[in-house]
Amino acid sequence: MKRFASATVTFVCLASIAPLLGCGKVPPPQFRENVVLVAAKNLSSERENQIGDILVALFGTPDEPFAPPEAGLDLQKITMAAGSVRSDSTGAKRGLFREHCAHCHGLTGDGMGPTAAFLNPYPRDYRQGWFKFKSTASNYPPTHDDLMRTLRDGITGTAMPSFKLLSDDQLEALVEYVKYLSVRGQTEIALIDAAADLSGDEPLPETQQFLIGDMLIGNSDDYPAPGPVSKWSSAVKQVTQISKPPADFGTRASIDAGKKIFYSNGGCVKCHGPTALGDGQQVPDLWNKDIEELQKKVHDGWAALEKPDESLEQLEGEALEKAEDQRAEQRDQLQTLSTAIANSALPLRISEPRNLRQGIFRGGREPFELFYRLHNGIYPAQMPAIAPQVSNDDIWHVIDYVLALPYEPGSQYAPEMSAPPRDRL
């Protein structure tokens, strides 16, 4: 699709050879479509085009963004962050996202910027609405303050820098633009899923109820789950309340209590390892998990097609022709999906648990920030919450132990452990 260019390429034409090269005006940039999901759902080009038209109508383009009033987004702030890098008539900077963020997170916010493949961890893909470091529960989006804190502080140990030198209004504009890209990406996913459920060549409805009520807001009879707008607007209600630390917080007794929980019912040792070096079990984060499953689907699909199909020998005439057509269609689908993964997804990486001995905490090392992560877990990284297993006081004890780990002896297991857990060997 032309509207969703896979990359924005700028050609520099020398005046002397421009007529020979035929270099004209560069077309405006467009958002990249979710190629992998479209291929995985095996959508027709007609449905693919319709989804593209709907997204442009709802959200505009990178240079001319738009948001329906029901989205609850501040279009003035979005416009400030959108477009090319420039200054307006008053000298105020514009195009902030492309200046500061797009080279990693991509023009579409899909985590596929030009430098993304060289970074570990990869830049975040906003389209799923998943964020790691936040105050809200489970897979709810972060609050406005959470995103502001991430921009101001950066993410230690990654390529995400601090933008503390930017003015408050610039930071506010970038936060709003991240919300905009996330709501747009989640809406695209919802539209693709809805299109995949249709039969035949039936087009998607384009009514107000469907596009705004069902896809953006949700909580309807046909789509009972909350949509992206509902989740973002209710994020502030999902903020975890931080309890008061116990009286012995910061003492040796608290550290020792946290150590015991770390190696027992807290479950921390399973991933962070017996010496907290991050050498326990590893799992793909949720951004990579879909790619892993789709790669397996492609592998298993080709393997099945390569096996001799003895049933074909029993067919003849129209039945044989139909069966061969079906196998050819399966080959085309697998090839399309394989190409989409190769060209529009980053290679699979495993989410590595933190080496807690280093004292580098990506989501911040303030005790309240650690409380959020222990109490809520880190949903996209599949780090579970320990809150159901332990009390709030116990969480504070674990925080004490984690903060003390860089200064603790690192060559010994916990006293009650004689060897690593068997399930890790």
CA distance 81 to 71: 17
CA distance 185 to 399: 35
Q: Which residues of 393-423 are buried (b: 16+ CB within 10 A; e: fewer)?
A: bbbbbbbbbbbbbeeeeeeeeeeeeeeeeee
pLDDT digits (tens, 9 = 90+) for 55-102: 999 999 999 999 999 999 999 999 999 999 999 888 889 999 999 999
CA distance 251 to 243: 18
Q: Distances from the Cα of 328 to the Cαs of 37, 201, 316, 335, 404, in angstroms? A: 21, 21, 17, 11, 61
pLDDT digits (tens, 9 = 90+) for 120-142: 999 999 999 999 999 998 889 99
Contact of 136 with 147, CB cutoff 8 Å:
no
pLDDT band at 1 (very low <50, low <70, confident <90, very high): very low
Q: What pLDDT, on a 0 to 100 scale, did the predictor assign at position 170?
A: 97
Chain-centroid distance, C-alpha 400: 30
H-run or E-run covering 54: helix 45-59
H-run or E-run covering 93: strand 93-94
**Overall size of the chain counted in residues:** 425
Does residue 387 have a pLDDT over 50?
yes
- Cβ contacts of residue 1 below 8 Å, gap of 6+? 33, 48, 49, 52
Grouping H, G, I as helix, E, B as strand and the rest as coil, residue 87 is strand
Burial (Cβ within 10 Å: 0-12, 13-18, ≥19) of residue 208? exposed
pLDDT band at 6 (very low <50, low <70, confident <90, very high): very low
- For the segment 42-55, the average pLDDT, to the nearest whole number, is 95
Q: What are phi and psi of 116, to 5 degrees?
A: -60, -45
pLDDT digits (tens, 9 = 90+) for 397-416: 999 999 999 998 865 555 55
Does residue 351 have a pLDDT over 90?
no
Does residue 2 have a pLDDT over 70?
no
Q: What pLDDT, on a 0 to 100 scale, did the predictor assign at position 283?
A: 84
Q: What pLDDT, on a 0 to 100 scale, did the predictor assign at position 289?
A: 86
Contact of 287 with 346, CB cutoff 8 Å:
no
- For the segment 23-36, the average pLDDT, to the nearest whole number, is 87
- For the segment 209-215, the average pLDDT, to the nearest whole number, is 96
Whole-number average pLDDT of the chain: 88
pTM (whole model) above 0.75: yes
Percent of the chain with pLDDT over 70: 88
Q: Which residues of 57-92 are buried (b: 16+ CB within 10 A; e: fewer)?
A: ebbbbbeebbbbeebebbbebbbbbbbeeeeeeeee
